[in-house]
């Protein structure tokens, strides 16, 4: 099971780096289409979403950072638990991935790194996922009744 979690963690990390490697136009277009789809779906509640699509688009973009890093935090923390890695290693890994991810944007067309994205959205998202795994109740392994 630990090798499966390691594979999931590596694939998710590659996905995050891949998303950062897309052009600014592609990235913006993807998040704008998601924001538009959600805004249209929520328009029956309030027209605010459609009227302020640019602001809502920004919220969607920053929420995506938190969500993808939350998933990374879950995956890497579960992997670390199964491999008995130290907690500090997992935290360094999360911080390292966040800053490397921003560095990938140096080579992407029409994009640039943002230390603020790493500090305000990526690392906190990772910590959220890390905390969720650490706070889940541990399953006790069944014991043999004859012992």
- Could you give the CA distance from residue 135 to residue 52 in angstroms, rounded to a whole number? 37
CB 74 within 8 A of CB 132: yes
Q: Can you give the pLDDT of all 147 residues of the chain as single tens digits?
A: 999 999 999 999 999 999 999 998 998 898 889 888 887 777 777 766 667 788 888 888 899 999 999 999 999 999 999 999 998 999 999 999 999 999 999 999 999 889 999 999 999 999 999 999 988 777 665 555 444
- Rounded to 5°, angle at Cα 104 from 122 and 16: 50
CB 61 within 8 A of CB 31: yes
- Could you give the CA distance from residue 11 to residue 9 in angstroms, rounded to a whole number? 6
- Could you give the CA distance from residue 76 to residue 142 in angstroms, rounded to a whole number? 26
Position 5 scores a pLDDT of: 97
- Could you give the CA distance from residue 147 to residue 145 in angstroms, rounded to a whole number? 6
CA trace torsion 63, 69, 70, 72 (10° rounding) = 150
Does the global pTM surpass 0.75? yes
CB 82 within 8 A of CB 102: no
Position 50 scores a pLDDT of: 64
- Could you give the CA distance from residue 118 to residue 55 in angstroms, rounded to a whole number? 20
CB 128 within 8 A of CB 70: yes
- Could you give the CA distance from residue 118 to residue 113 in angstroms, rounded to a whole number? 9
């Amino acid at each position: 099971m630990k090798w499966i979690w390691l594979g999931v963690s590596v694939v998710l990390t590659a996905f995050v780096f891949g998303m950062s490697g897309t052009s600014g136009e592609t990235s913006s277009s993807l998040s704008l289409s998601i924001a538009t789809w959600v805004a249209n779906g929520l328009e029956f509640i309030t027209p605010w979403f459609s009227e302020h699509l640019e602001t809502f688009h920004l919220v969607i973009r920053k929420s995506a950072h938190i969500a993808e890093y939350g998933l990374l935090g879950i995956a890497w923390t579960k992997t670390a638990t199964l491999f008995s890695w130290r907690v500090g290693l997992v935290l360094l890994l999360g911080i390292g991935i966040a800053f490397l991810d921003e560095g990938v944007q140096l080579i992407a067309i029409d994009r640039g790194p943002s230390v603020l994205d790493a500090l305000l959205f990526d690392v906190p998202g990772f910590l959220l996922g890390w905390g969720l795994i650490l706070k889940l109740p541990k399953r006790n392994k069944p014991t043999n009744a004859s012992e």
